[in-house]
Structure 1
């Protein structure tokens, strides 16, 4: 009998540390070789670390949110026989996955494990439940905040359930998805709703939730704060008449061939950007603060800010300048779906030279987008709205208007150049045939 000490391995090229996102085991658990022990995160990729040995978990070193250096012992496992050497043991290479998968797998990991039957007090089998025995709910003091994962809390909120009324059978009284199922099956949801006050929403709300910011949300917070703290943003908003562009978009969608994607306004803007950026190279660049170097790019690797269940991600359309408008639309759609479902690779999430951000129908009248460092520019798309405008003959006519709200790194991009770039985009978008002219 000995203790195998599992050290945090190098989970990526040049990675010296990683953040603990979620433990899949606890002290006292029996674990088999290749069982997932913990999810750790570096940059925007979450990695599962499997166990290289079988045995009983003796200790876990670190809590979710802790930043651990490579080579640090994070798990101690009691094993039979000789203790293998981690350096000599060829542990299976961890399988990278995206943060979106963490939330999906959390449900399975939170299901209560069967407790071994006590010899002195055998428990009777419950009625038609698949589990052999139901774990006992831990007592909770009055006013004590119930323990539950974000997924369980969201489920309770969506179902109008007071978590304080749900017995928790997980470790330390943690409420699991199975506890929620049992609570609802017993009529608890109806009882909670009946005692929650008026259905007209006049009851006082007393709940509050405090959670540690970890994983992708922590990285987003750090990157946004650093960008605003270190980059002097120059914001520029311009009104664009997209009446003719929208007519062209609708015509192309109505006549597109089988297999061609549906066009949004983004491929038109991307194509216009590819045509305009050679005249404004400082806006298609990365600025390295440490070396004080600006790298200007001829290719346009266009990031597309994408909202996902776990936070903002920026998949990258590479060499957008070499793609047709249809190919751009297909790539935007593919990358957005990959980001939302957690299938985007690290290469698909890095290497952008400029970013486009859009809130679609919720785009508002204007916005002040935050630069995706180390880039020097970001172009924001606001909503389209029909507004009265004077035509060339002085008559009022309805026109479809949209604002571009953009931000530039004022250290690298002068205000005049920033405005000139947006004016060049305006000229092409208002006269859409020129987008495709050499």
Structure 2
């Protein structure tokens, strides 16, 4: 028979294997050219693999969660002898006497439906996770993407129209069911990275209280007077600018440590990782050369990267190469946290929520907007004293935000 072999693609940068995170087809399914048939993950970037030909799936390489080597067989497609599509992976293993008539011929492209009810709805892995978390059955959502692909916006539109789960009513019921969930994809990568960091880095966490009242007043004024093409400022761009400025006096925190080789690498450039919660899990997009950006440019780049991370479109380059990381849970930031360092970096700045609290000014208690910074350091490289001095410098810049914008 005329069979097309799709191999695991080489995604570059020395990656030897990738993890299967989702199949969009099963054996026996019809496929058409450019239809996405699988999603694989390397590091924290998900890559969708399309079919270059029309045909029927005859074989799949493995189960979700398995790792497949680059160039290893991934999918076999029976083209039915029509010769359609590119030929980079075509193989022929049928006896010469087998004719086209003896092999099922694929239906014409126009009749191979991607969205019929008998097929799995098309959606990227982050979108599927978002639908699951929202309690939405993808089969009920009309996709507006290419080929009927369901986008995050389609689910949000579905929810905005009042579609929701119906909660059962009645008395209390005993429950005894259990569910075993195999870690795969991004969730497994996060687990591996956290375990590596916690097992190899002796953390020291330092917590400091910061009066954010003046900064919040400045932020309100800047937002009210920003240009039309400027993004709305949150606290994070100010924190990035303050950390960049503090690093100039404390370069040892903007570094990575190769503990196998015993080498610390300090960086002049500040590539700021911003821990971002995406539907598929925690990612760390990187604001490159934060030291060369003003606050508006920094905010715009953070917004762009956050959207790419949440939509699952961030590239490998956008998710790697950070030299120091900021982690914030926003309004859910709590009072204190113990952030885990983004290995092999040596420092991470944790942001807790802002809350109005009474503060004694020497005469009376006055309401002030207070926020804690919970920061962790690699104690092999950064001593507790140096960690405290660095955080105190960041605190000073945040409490007197005009200093952030003064050169030198």
Provide TM-score, normalisation by structure 2. 0.78
* 2:279 counterpart residue number: 309
Asked if residue 197 in structure 1 is aligned to residue 166 in structure 2, the reply is: no
Q: Is 1:236 the counterpart of 2:206 in the alignment? A: yes
Partner of 1:57: 57
Query: Conserved in 2, the CA contact under 8 Å of 1:52 and 1:89?
Result: no
1:354 has 2:327 as partner = no
The DSSP-based 3-state class of the residue aligned with 1:433 is: helix
Alignment of 1:423-438 (within 5 A): 423-438=392-407
User: How many angstroms does 1:422 deviate by?
Assistant: 0.3
- What 5-or-longer segments of structure 1 have no aligned partner? 91-107, 115-148, 160-188
Match runs of 1:204-243 below 5 Å: 204-243=174-213
The TM-score normalised by the length of structure 1 is 0.73
Pairing of 1:157-196 with structure 2 (within 5 A): 157=135, 196=169
Cα contact 1:8–1:69 (8 A) shared by 2: yes
CA distance in 1, matches of 2:400, 2:79: 72
CA offset digits 1:71-121 (Å, max 9, x no partner): 32232333445999x99559xxxxxxxxxxxxxxxxx7794249xxxxxxx
1:18 is matched with which residue? Answer: 18
Corresponding residue of 1:69: 69
Q: CA 1:388–1:340 in structure 2 vs 1: closer, same or farther (change >3 Å)?
A: same
2:373 maps to: 404
> 1:386 Cα deviation (Å)?
1.7
Q: Which residue among 360, 377, 383 is the counterpart of 1:390?
A: 360
SS in 2 for 1:305: strand
Structure 1 residue 43 corresponds to structure 2 residue 13 = no
Equivalent position of 2:258 in the other structure: 288
Secondary structure class of the residue paired with 1:272: helix
Distance of aligned partners of 1:229 and 1:397 in 2 relative to their CA distance in 1, 3 Å threshold: same
User: Unmatched 5+ residue regions in structure 2?
Assistant: 91-113, 121-127, 138-163
**Structure (1 or 2) with the larger CA radius of gyration:** 1
2:118 to 112, 117, 130: 112
Alpha-carbon shift at residue 394 of structure 1 (Å):
3.7
Mapped pair 1:267 → 2:245: no
TM-fit CA distance, 1:13: 3.1
The 3 A distance-change label for structure 1 pair 406 and 87 is farther
Bigger relative contact order, structure 1 or 2, given CA contacts below 8 A and separation 6+? 2
Shift, 1:7, TM fit: 2.9
* Aligned pairs, number: 351
Q: Secondary structure at the match of 1:248?
A: helix
Q: Provide the residue aligned with 1:422 in structure 2.
A: 391
Contact 2:60 2:74 in 1 (8 A): yes
CA RMSD in angstroms comes to 2.9
Whole-angstrom CA distance in 1 between matches of 2:302 and 2:130 = 28
